[in-house]
Amino acid sequence: MSQKSRTRGQSIVEFALIIPIVVLAITVFIDLGRVVYSYSALSHAVREGTRFAIVHPPDTEEEENAIIAVIIDNAVGLDETNLTVTFPVLPVDPDFLVTIHASYTIAPVTPGLSLILGAGKVFVLQTESSMQVAPLYQ
């Protein structure tokens, strides 16, 4: 057996040992990118909903539904079935702050990633935004 055929076989074995690690690393990076994008989109949507809420205080159920609709419209790329929005009815404190809290659940596609990071089977992303109601409405 020649030296050339032995090194070619060695390269194939090395490739077979390394490729699962490389594929796992790529899927982990893709999953973490999805989580970062989801958090960014959720944070943006909640800020836009809070901006809408300081001009249209959530005094009635119709206004609350309008605020939730603004948040869902601005949550680009997120599944609205995994989105939960909560906010108190005004006025809640002397400063008339509107605080909107939202949470979003995202399931990773990488096997075992959530167990490695200690997050369970899904990641729960939470964000909150507070803004003061315009003085005109106080």
Residue 10's Cα: distance from chain center in Å?
A: 44
- Cα separation, 85 vs 22, in Å, equals 38
Instruction: Tell me the residue range of the domain where 98 lies.
Output: 3-137
Q: What is the pLDDT of residues 118-132, one digit of tens each?
A: 656 788 899 999 888
Q: What is the mean pLDDT of residues 7-17?
A: 82
The torsion angles phi and psi of 94, rounded to 5 degrees, stand at: -60, -25
pTM, two decimals, is 0.79
Q: What is the pLDDT of residues 76-91, one digit of tens each?
A: 999 999 999 987 765 5
The torsion angles phi and psi of 8, rounded to 5 degrees, stand at: -65, -40
More confident residue, 22 or 138: 22
Band (31; pLDDT cuts 50, 70, 90): confident
Instruction: Give the residue carrying structure tokens 């702050």.
Output: 97
Contact 35, 106 (CB under 8 A): yes
What's the total number of domains in the chain?
1
